[in-house]
Copies of this chain bind each other. A is one copy, B any other.
Amino acid sequence: MTAPGTFSAVVPAGGSGTRLWPLSRSHDPKFLHDLTGTGRTLLQATVDRLGPLAPPDRTFVVTGGAHAAAVARQLPALPSRNVVVEPSPRDSAPAIGLAAAILHERDPHGVMGSFASDHVVLDGAGFVAALRSAIEVAETGRLVTVGMTPTRPETGFGYVHRGETLGVGGAYAVTEFAEKPALEIAQKYVASGEYLWNASMFVWRTSVFLAELERQQPQLHDGLRRIAADWDTPRREDTLGGLWPALPRISVDHAVMEGAAAEGLVATVPASFGWSDVGDWDGLGVIASNGSPVTVVGDASRVLAVDTVDCVAVPAGGRLVTLLGLRDVVVVDTDDAVLVVARDRAQDVKGIVDVLKARGSTDLV
């Protein structure tokens, strides 16, 4: 068994969160914002909750050059060398794989976990407990995903289908990863009790992950290992710049997890700690609600709501936001744009951003 000290946490911080426009922008993405009114940004909260498992020197953020400075400023305790900068976005398998390869160079027996920078967890202690179980299972040689016990037939998440119990850490084998389902299928998933939400929280020995990456994506594996070998040398920039652009764009689910599940290598630890991917304004309203009729993200004194229920208000533009006689509406005020959207259309905010991009309104996206 590996000593607890060898666990490292990796936080990929990419994506712009266009469905949370106009607060989230390409130059100022979702993970850099305090979307839950806690005083900490999603990125800071992610690192905070990993604290009991990984101290700052074993916590790594993988991000793009455009956000490296903001990440460094938001996480002053993080060593500068732990901010891993991708030359260009290449989806999650290259980002997580690069971190795995670098960590593997330093400690070939280490265990790592990967955690999105822009999700919300309500029960931090429950998160840590689930992660300790996941680390225990990972040490047995499995690729472990933390599976969230579904609380509704959500069509916006992928699911994992659990199989037999593994007799360690409360884990089950994963027989299959299922893509975002249609509503009827999601309802069957939830009713069966056999499906869990795939929260993109992964724990594994770097050696096990890299072996599967080599088997399934040999080109990607080879490139990442060569970059990692030169990472702590003067050749880093040259090697990274030469190899990175040719790496395939692929998610870690497609590159490794689905194929590994078919081989019986994936386990899931079921958990319930109040998780949300905060995928859109409606989801934020669900996770940030404290039971009051209007969920305010930000300074509540800047919102005046009368006869208004099940609404979300984000007063981020310094103005007073007033709501009267509304239901199921989200209002987001920023310095240069105001969004008013029906909650059941929140996932389509991305379309607004697409229109603005097509118009050339680059200052607004």
Query: In the bound complex, how far is the Cα of B337 from the Cα of A239, in angstroms?
Result: 53
Where chain A touches its partner, the secondary structure class is mixed
Is B321 a contact of A338 with CB atoms below 8 Å? yes
Instruction: Select the residue from A325, A344, A348, A352 with max chain B CB neighbours within 10 A.
Output: A325
Nearest-neighbour CB distance to chain B for A219, whole angstroms, equals 41
Is B338 a contact of A324 with CB atoms below 8 Å? no
Query: In the bound complex, how far is the Cα of B324 from the Cα of A345, in angstroms?
Result: 7
Measured between beta carbons, the chain B residues less than 8 angstroms from A348 are: 306-307, 324-325
Is B352 a contact of A324 with CB atoms below 8 Å? yes
On whether A340 and B317 interact (CB within 8 A), knowing A304-B356, A355-B306, A356-B304, the answer reads no
Is there a chain B Cβ closer than 8 Å to A178's Cβ? no
Measured between beta carbons, the chain B residues less than 8 angstroms from A22 are: 320, 322
Return the CB mask of A308-343 against B: 1 if under 8 Å, else 0.
000000000101111111100101011111111110
Q: A319-B338, A320-B356, A322-B337 are in contact. List 16 more A-B contacts (CB 8 A).
A: A304-B356, A317-B319, A319-B337, A320-B336, A320-B337, A321-B338, A323-B340, A324-B341, A324-B342, A325-B341, A326-B329, A326-B340, A331-B338, A333-B338, A338-B338, A340-B340
The 8 closest A-B pairs by CB, nearest first: A325-B345, A325-B342, A324-B341, A320-B337, A322-B339, A321-B338, A331-B340, A333-B338
